Amino acid sequence: MLIDSHVNLHAPQFDEDRDAVIARARAAGVARMVTICDRVSAFEAVHVIAMSHDDIWCTVGTHPHEAREDPHLDAGTLAQLAARDRVVGLGETGLDYHYDFSPREVQRSVFQAHIDAARQTGLPLVVHSREADDDMIQMLEDADSKGKFKLLLHCYTSGAELARRAAALGAWFSVSGIASFKAADAVRAVIRDMPADRIIVETDCPYLAPMPMRGRRNEPAFLPYVLAKLAEVRGWSLTEAEQRAEEAFFALFHRIERP
């Protein structure tokens, strides 16, 4: 089955036609979706979408861009919200030193709270990392030394060294439409070396529409283009790529039962 592991269905870009977007995803064969929380203050809006659809689940967390909104966020708050029905992961969280919309020390503190909550709950951690490879791997390796937790590096565009060391920690990776961009040779090179049993796919909609839809608002119905690019890069058939991504998804998001 096709599974979009990272959608942002609460985003305002979908306010006018959210139900139609979901319907188009189903028509395109997308059987499962995980809609992602970008800040704890938006969690209720995210959660109601998951609660309203049998084929959608959600996460709870705060993106590094939004970390400044809740600089004292703690693991207990995250764990309490994560206990709700249809919550299957923590995040999107992490470090983004490209934009620095939140102070770096605040990003690191909020990220640490998510790591601690992942260890407490056993739920996978959905991680965003941009131009922060050194601090990212240091925090992940330090945390891993204190106890294992599930980890997904989503929409991976960072360096080969971070990918290698995160893979050694048991991390999963998700591939997005960026893999189809003409200038993304470095991203494709990393995808070729990712652990074959820990790769999943995503759209990250409404952002990062894959070729040939680039420039349009992205939506989960475009996921087949991402899967096709993954298959091409790895030298897999479409069937093999779909089966591998499905197996990896259910191994990571263990709260979601197989149909």
Helix crossing, 104-121 with 75-82: angle to 10°? 50
Residue 259 in any domain: the answer is no
Residue 213 in any domain: the answer is yes
Residue 214 in any domain: the answer is yes
Can you give the pLDDT at residue 109?
Answer: 98
Residue 258 in any domain: the answer is no
Whether residue 158 contacts residue 117, with contact meaning beta carbons closer than 8 Å, is answered with: no
Domain interval for residue 16: 2-252
CA pair distance 107, 73, nearest whole angstrom = 11
Whether residue 135 contacts residue 170, with contact meaning beta carbons closer than 8 Å, is answered with: no
Residue 257 in any domain: the answer is no
Nearest alpha carbon to residue 208 among 175, 183, 176? 176
Other Cβ atoms less than 10 A from the Cβ of 5: the count is: 29
**What Å distances lie between residue 62 and 33, 101, 128, CA to CA?**
19, 13, 10
Beta bridge partners of residue 2, listed in sequence order:
30
Nearest alpha carbon to residue 111 among 168, 163, 67? 67
Residue 81 in any domain: the answer is yes
CA pair distance 57, 25, nearest whole angstrom = 15
Can you give the pLDDT at residue 259?
Answer: 84
CA pair distance 165, 35, nearest whole angstrom = 27
Whether residue 197 contacts residue 234, with contact meaning beta carbons closer than 8 Å, is answered with: no
Torsion of CA 236, 238, 241, 246, to 10 degrees: -160
Per the structure, the count of domains in the chain is 1
Nearest alpha carbon to residue 171 among 110, 248, 229, 71? 248
Can you give the pLDDT at residue 120?
Answer: 96
**Full pLDDT tens readout for the chain, 259 residues:** 999 999 999 999 999 999 999 999 999 999 999 999 999 999 999 999 999 999 999 999 999 999 999 999 999 999 999 999 999 999 999 999 999 999 999 999 999 999 999 999 999 999 999 999 999 999 999 999 999 999 999 999 999 999 999 999 999 999 999 999 999 999 999 999 999 999 999 999 999 999 999 999 999 999 999 999 999 999 999 999 999 999 999 999 999 999 8
Question: What is the domain-level CATH number for residue 190?
Answer: 3.20.20.140
CA pair distance 99, 66, nearest whole angstrom = 11
